[in-house]
Amino acid sequence: MKKFNYENLEKLTLNQEIVNILLEINKFQSKNDLLSNAKNPVLKKYLKSAKFNSITTSNQIEGIKTSNYRMEKIISSPDVKPKNHPESEIIGYKKVLEMINDNYENIATIPHHILQLHKILFSFSFQKQFGYKKIDNFIKITFPDKTEKTRFIPSDAYSTPQHMEELCQTFNLHFHNPKINPLIASLNFILDFLCIHPFTDGNGRISRLLTTLLLYKNDHIIQKFISFEQIIEETKESYYDVLFESSQNWHENQNDPLPFIQYMLNVILQTYQKMDFNQIQQSSQTALQQITNYFNNSIIQTNKATLIKKFPHISPTTIKLYLHKLVKVKYILKVGNGKATTYIKNPQRNAIK
């Protein structure tokens, strides 16, 4: 009989690689303040790209696709109408993702809210599939010759409502347990959700949407700027392998969640690593601060062309203006004339006055 006992997570022995990944994630998480400036133009580009990639790749994993042109239109237009069944499900996914991004504080990990998210996912679909599964489902693998083999048997339809209730109860009870890393508990929740497979369709997509939600609950916001779904899509063979490995003996309460947890932690770490925090920090500063800091950290002569290439978001006219200003106050020194002109930090100046 399946039991959801998250106290067992206290006894998990984490290998050194998992420990190192968690430490690296914590280091990156300490930079969250850099991601909080909604007016930052570089962050706006990250936001737009992440939304497109998250919606596109999460659906592609399930074989749901449309053209890039239509995808751009679906994502950018609030009232776009679907032209076919795949587009109806993509629009539903967009709506759920937007709801989580904008209102995650008010979405709880309880069955009622998860059912609501699933309902919204299919609310634009031509085939309404609301609620828990009514008949048993099976996770199968399809071979190149189109033959199939059952890979995993999830919770049966009769047990699903009870399993979802028990899963949410035990997770919420232990999420703030100081003896359990909340990120470990969250990823174990995603694994258990996938093993229950509570819906006839949409389980994979809902699992990734719930991952987004739980990352927010863990005070991570990187998923809003870099798509972790894209990383899963690029490594989906490994994803399915660790999911299979961690689901073995799940019904008997003897499964090992660590392969799945380690994979997902790696995905989260890679998501952080894709973010250029130095660029974000620079773009949060004024143009003058960025140019000044460049000279602070450089010991070689620099010409205007190098600065224009270094700071493409600052106009050449502005760069020329601030070079003139910094020379005038003797913060930097001008070397040469005409096209051969270069600039270097004045070693006798520590600050602009």
Nearest CA to 288 out of 321, 320, 322, 331 is that of 322
- Per the CB < 8 A criterion, the answer to whether 94 and 120 are in contact is no
Nearest CA to 221 out of 47, 42, 22 is that of 47
User: 353: which residues sit within 8 A by CB, 6+ positions away?
Assistant: 329
Residue 206 marked as a ligand binder: yes
Residue 239 marked as a ligand binder: yes
Active site residue 197: yes
- Per the CB < 8 A criterion, the answer to whether 266 and 239 are in contact is no
Cα(136)–Cα(242) distance, integer angstroms: 23
Strand 139-142 relative to strand 332-335, pairing: unpaired
Nearest CA to 171 out of 117, 114, 133, 115 is that of 114
Residue 204 marked as a ligand binder: yes
Residue 208 marked as a ligand binder: yes
Residue 309 neighbours by CB distance under 10 Å: 8
- Per the CB < 8 A criterion, the answer to whether 22 and 198 are in contact is no
Cα(244)–Cα(149) distance, integer angstroms: 13
- SS3 state of residue 342: strand
Nearest CA to 9 out of 166, 250, 177, 164 is that of 177
Nearest CA to 225 out of 32, 26, 94, 22 is that of 32
Phi and psi dihedrals of 52, rounded to 5?
A: -60, -50
CA 56-62-65 angle, 5° bins: 45
Alpha carbon 17 to chain centroid distance? 21
Residue 207 marked as a ligand binder: yes
Q: Where are the alpha helices (DSSP H) in 274-337?
A: 277-283, 287-296, 304-310, 316-328
The active-site residue out of 163, 174, 197, 220 is 197
Residue 201 marked as a ligand binder: yes
Q: How far is CA 47 from CA 38, 77, 232, 272, in A?
A: 10, 16, 19, 14
Active-site positions?
197
Binding annotation for ATP: 201-208, 239-240, 253
Q: Which residues carry a binding-site annotation?
A: 201-208, 239-240, 253
